[in-house]
Amino acid sequence: MDRRCGPTLSPDGKWLVYGSRYENKTGLRVRELATGDERWLAYPTQRDEMESRAPMDALPGMSFTPDSKELVASYGNKIWRVAIDGSGQQEIPFRVQAQVEVAPALAFTYPISDSTTFTARQIRDAVPSPDGKQLAFVAMDKLYVMDWPGSAPRRVSTLNAIEAEPAWSPDGKSLAWVTWTEQGGRLYKATMVAGRATRIIPVSSGMATLRQPVFSPNGARIVALQTPAQGRRDQTGVTGTSQLVWYAAAPTGTDGAAATMIARSSGRSKPHFTTDTSRIYLSSNNGLVSIRWDGTDEQRHLRVVGAGTGGPGDDDGHGHNDHTFNESELQGDHEEPGLQGPPAQVVMASPNGDKALAQIGGDFYTVVIPPRGTQATVNVAEPASAAFPARKLTDIGGQFPAWSADGKRVHWSIGNAHVVYDLEAASARDAAIAAARRDSTIAESARPRPYAPAETRILVAATRDLPTGTVVLRNAKVVTMKGDEIIAKGDIVVKNNRIVAVGASGTVTVPAGATDMDLAGATVVPGFVDTHAHLRAERNTIHETQPWAYLANLAYGVTTTRDPQTATTDVLTYQDMVEAGQIVGPRIYSTGPGVFNTDNIRDQEHARSMLKRYSSYYDTKTIKMYVAGVRQVRQWIITAAREQQLMPTTEGSLDVKLNLTETLDGYPGLEHSMGITPLGTDVTGFMAWSKRTYTPTLLVNYGGPWAENYFYTKENPWADPKLQRFTAYEELALKTRRRMASMPNGGTAGGWFRDEEYVFPQLAADATKILRAGGRLGIGSHGQLQGLGYHWELWAMASGGMTNHEALRVATIIGATAIGLNTDLGSIEAGKLADLVILEKDPLSDLRNTNSVRYVMKNGRLYDGSTLAELYPTKKAGPEVPNRPIMPSTKAGTGH
């Protein structure tokens, strides 16, 4: 590696010392400037940051003594005087005594409820009826309608399908929506009488992927986006050509009708209409555009941009296409003044065509549409000074914006709250405030307050999945994680979904009628906890019927996951679906979308308001503070989190100074590896003392080749039958059949490296020092290879010198403690939830035996570890990822 760093010139101008690498280690070289001759001065020293961000330079600073005969340098956590003549080095003893102020520890526990019902966390796609008296919306992927704002929600259909994106007919007498099953999707319509569906008919024939339906102004047609179903069925990511089509709203056949093509979508979406019925309006990369019904004559009406740079569009922004570092991580960087910010993701004209509704990030704006032909770009970073009249509607953001039929109100949702913003009332309030500001005789208490939109919580009750029955698991070795307790031959009694007794075989009371399972020869450990799990179920689109990543993780023994930064709020619905037993998977927790610098937090009160997204609306328990601003901003956020009982984690961002100041400020979580290795005892001791959970995600470690490539080149994951069963074919083939430096279609970066080139064992050694000093770590697989990747991360973590029991503690009780769930999860104790992994082989003798999963019990349900067939308390065949391709068998071909 021909790289050089940290050049330091001697006072007499004769010598230049710099850092460089020989093979996999870093040392110091000295050059005699007069001759250009070079030699090694000290080797090895400590690892440089040339494969990292190096915010404090790639090596610690060096300096010559005044006589230019010695170099003072630090490496190996010591300071040295190094003789320039090559005669050796002498340690400079030093000791630093310092007193620093540290915020109080921030830690909460979140009990897991056993109530028979719960309230859905999220409503989606809510749209008001034309007369404003009804609201159609989706909860837990089923379509509901309710009288607005007063009545209880009621299902529209009994279809066994994912339902999404309802649209009212102009007369309010019909409701259309799209569906998805494992076979494909369709467009349906219901005739509504007094708010109730009386007749449900398919509008589209055959199967396709259908999105964003909307009735034409006369109600005769339904316009939608359509792509072939095959790509989505196969989960290849290749969806085929997307088209803008229309269907007859009253099809003549009983099984729907074929579509009429209007045009290729070409990146355009969100079809809608204004009073100009001759044109279809769309949102595009060029902003608000419109076309004729025959797809011609595209006209551009308005482009809306915002301020600053956006946060990562996917997960936590870690550089998936670079095995060291990607600039998208630098969320703290600000745009230069005067540059246009990110364009709106969605721009929709109002029904009367005078205004547009724009979404930028999670915020909504209205902008007056300029006269046709102007093609203006309007920057709404400062709405009061925008080129055309603009208004910001949101204070903490929202999702799923929609216009009312008269264009006077904007609707959106956040969590399970539905918000209605009355534009005329807001304008009237602004005028009243301005008038009061001019009248000094009005007392402060009598002055009008800023307009606040109306908010209504929509409560949809769901039944929690709670098994019934009692089972005793006998004669297994039990690694309880209750301290160092190991029961050589033990029994575990599970009633419904909780452990009621555990002890040596024959010593626990077993209720009469309990199901008896002999596990002789097996080892039982608590369910594995993944504290940094990007499961990547379908988002910003119609949901999956059963996310394959959920199956893969559960099959490999991961019973609890926490996704730190989901980019969207879809995870809230998926979490509900798992909790209700409607899809199979681990326990799903998340931070929801991160808190970024683009949230532009202004002061402490604003931070409190922003965090209500998570404490009040999303109910996430944790947040991801993603380099959200300068230290003052970060302190506002942690203060608000403490008040609202949220446990924040943070983005490492390859900046140890940032990591340490966040620790001083009380942040309880740190994601991704710290950028410098080896860490001194000052840092490891401080991290341990603070109880800040460090999840280094070694599979995508900083500072060198990713650890996942080590396992890809040492193992044969393609041939793993469990991965073959539970991973989408194209996903597995893309990652495991070839490993290239640049992977197509978003595949993870690959490559082959000698073992000593990997840095993860050094990072793991630092983590082990933190653990043994009393600190907390997390196993975070980062979603690199769903399921098996968790075990790779666990084994990589142990490569730094942990004992097998220490590694298992990190994977279970310490991980559960990290995300506030240790009162119910993480150990095998009476009263805790029955999340267990039954292993064929003992992981205490060989940690790689964590991947010998015979059974997985999650919430009292026992699954076969190879097939996820439910074995207890009910019997049910195991799921498979649908539509896996099979080896072609044809009568044509070469036969080879």
Three-state secondary structure readout of 353-398? CCEEEEEECCEEEEEECCCCCCCEEEECCCHHHCCCCEEECCCCCC
Beta bridge partners, 476, equal 490
Give pLDDT, residue 324: 34
Give pLDDT, residue 145: 96
Least confident range from 131-140, 305-314, 529-538: namely 305-314
Give pLDDT, residue 531: 98
Token pair for 208: 């396709």
Say if residue 840's pLDDT is above 60: yes
Token pair for 519: 């596990």
Distances (CA, A) of 119 to 113, 141, 162, 179, 496: 12, 14, 19, 23, 22
Least confident range from 493-497, 834-838, 853-857, 885-889: namely 885-889
Q: How confident is the model at residue 677 (pLDDT cuts 50, 70, 90)?
A: very high
Spell out the residues 6+ positions from residue 99 whose beta carbon is closer than 8 angstroms to its own: none
Q: How far apart are CA 780 and CA 563, in angstroms?
A: 9
- Residue 285, classed as helix, strand or coil, is coil
Q: How confident is the model at residue 329 (pLDDT cuts 50, 70, 90)?
A: very low
Mean of the per-residue pLDDT values of the chain = 92
Mean pLDDT computed over 467-480: 98
Helices (DSSP H) in 179-240: which residue ranges? 229-234
Q: How confident is the model at residue 749 (pLDDT cuts 50, 70, 90)?
A: low
Q: How confident is the model at residue 195 (pLDDT cuts 50, 70, 90)?
A: low
User: What are the φ and ψ backbone dihedral angles of 550, each rounded to 5 degrees?
Assistant: -65, -40
* DSSP letter (8 states) at residue 419: E
Say if residue 508's pLDDT is above 50: yes
Say if residue 511's pLDDT is above 50: yes
Say if residue 896's pLDDT is above 90: no
Q: Which residue has the tokens 């009288």?
A: 147
Say if residue 287's pLDDT is above 80: yes
Beta bridge partners, 836, equal 526, 857
DSSP for 473-523, please give it.
Answer: EEEEEEE--STT-EEEEEEEEEETTEEEEEEETTSS---TT-EEEE-TT-E
Mean pLDDT computed over 604-610: 97
Q: Are 341 and 335 spatial neighbours (Cβ–Cβ below 8 Å)? A: yes
Q: Are 222 and 187 spatial neighbours (Cβ–Cβ below 8 Å)? A: yes
Helices (DSSP H) in 235-296: which residue ranges? none
Extended beta strands in 564-691, E state: 587-590, 622-625, 647-650, 669-671
Spell out the residues 6+ positions from residue 438 whose beta carbon is closer than 8 angstroms to its own: none
Q: How confident is the model at residue 316 (pLDDT cuts 50, 70, 90)?
A: low
Closest by alpha carbon to 76, among 47, 41, 51? 47
Q: How confident is the model at residue 884 (pLDDT cuts 50, 70, 90)?
A: confident
Token pair for 675: 């950028």
Say if residue 447's pLDDT is above 80: yes
Q: Are 351 and 403 spatial neighbours (Cβ–Cβ below 8 Å)? A: yes
* DSSP letter (8 states) at residue 446: G
The residue ranking higher by pLDDT, 330 or 189, is 189
Token pair for 338: 């005067």
Q: How far apart are CA 615 and CA 591, in angstroms?
A: 10
The residue ranking higher by pLDDT, 195 or 119, is 119
Mean pLDDT computed over 246-265: 94
Give pLDDT, residue 738: 84
Closest by alpha carbon to 662, among 635, 689, 682? 635
Mean pLDDT computed over 826-853: 98
Mean pLDDT computed over 179-200: 89
Give pLDDT, residue 625: 97
Q: How far apart are CA 178 and CA 298, in angstroms?
A: 27
- Give pLDDT tens digits for 134-185: 999 999 999 999 999 888 999 999 999 999 999 999 999 999 999 999 999 9
Q: How far apart are CA 384 and CA 111, in angstroms?
A: 46
Distances (CA, A) of 80 to 15, 31, 58, 89: 18, 19, 18, 6
Say if residue 800's pLDDT is above 90: yes
What radius of gyration, in Å, describes the C-alpha atoms of the chain?
30
Give pLDDT, residue 336: 33
**HSE value, Cβ hemisphere, 13 Å, CA-based, for 496:** 10
Give pLDDT, residue 109: 97
Stated as kind and residue range, the H or E segment containing 174 is: strand 174-180
- Residue 168, classed as helix, strand or coil, is strand
Can you say how many angstroms the Cα of residue 840 is from the centroid of all Cα atoms in its chain?
33
Q: Are 622 and 669 spatial neighbours (Cβ–Cβ below 8 Å)? A: yes
Residue percentage of the chain with pLDDT more than 90: 84
Q: Are 107 and 691 spatial neighbours (Cβ–Cβ below 8 Å)? A: yes
Q: Are 450 and 129 spatial neighbours (Cβ–Cβ below 8 Å)? A: no
- Give pLDDT tens digits for 9-34: 999 999 999 999 999 999 999 999 99
Q: Are 768 and 800 spatial neighbours (Cβ–Cβ below 8 Å)? A: yes
Provide the b/e sequence for 248-263 (b: ≥16 CB within 10 Å).
bbebeeeebbebeebb
Say if residue 810's pLDDT is above 80: yes
- Give pLDDT tens digits for 70-95: 999 999 999 999 999 999 999 999 99
Highest-confidence segment of 435-444, 557-566, 733-742: 557-566
pTM for this model (two decimals): 0.94
Mean pLDDT computed over 625-649: 97
Q: How far apart are CA 735 and CA 715, in angstroms?
A: 13
* DSSP letter (8 states) at residue 686: H
Q: What angle do CA 695, 698, 699 make, to 5 degrees?
A: 125
Q: How far apart are CA 861 and CA 589, in angstroms?
A: 19
User: What are the φ and ψ backbone dihedral angles of 826, each rounded to 5 degrees?
Assistant: 100, -15
Torsion over CA: 834, 837, 839, 842 (sign): negative
Q: How far apart are CA 92 and CA 84, in angstroms?
A: 16
Q: How confident is the model at residue 266 (pLDDT cuts 50, 70, 90)?
A: very high
Closest by alpha carbon to 481, among 529, 522, 518? 529
DSSP for 857-869, please give it.
Answer: EETTEEEETTT--
Least confident range from 122-136, 625-639, 731-745, 819-833: namely 731-745
Q: How confident is the model at residue 333 (pLDDT cuts 50, 70, 90)?
A: very low
Beta bridge partners, 264, equal 243
Token pair for 132: 């404003």
Token pair for 261: 């093509």
Give pLDDT, residue 742: 60
Closest by alpha carbon to 797, among 770, 756, 765? 765
Largest Cα–Cα distance in the chain? 97
Q: Are 234 and 227 spatial neighbours (Cβ–Cβ below 8 Å)? A: no
Q: How far apart are CA 476 and CA 488, in angstroms?
A: 7
CB atoms within 10 A of CB 269: 15
Stated as kind and residue range, the H or E segment containing 761 is: helix 760-772
- Residue 770, classed as helix, strand or coil, is helix
Q: How far apart are CA 307 and CA 598, in angstroms?
A: 8
Give pLDDT, residue 331: 31
Spell out the residues 6+ positions from residue 694 whose beta carbon is closer than 8 angstroms to its own: 670, 674, 687, 767, 770, 775, 776, 777, 778
Give pLDDT, residue 734: 86
Task: Kindly tell me the burial class for residue 104, based on how many C-beta atoms sit within 10 Å of its own C-beta (0-12, 13-18, 19 or more).
Answer: exposed
Closest by alpha carbon to 84, among 67, 59, 103? 67
CB atoms within 10 A of CB 193: 10
Closest by alpha carbon to 782, among 675, 656, 667, 698? 698
User: What are the φ and ψ backbone dihedral angles of 190, each rounded to 5 degrees?
Assistant: -120, 135
Give pLDDT, residue 657: 95
Token pair for 314: 């996917």
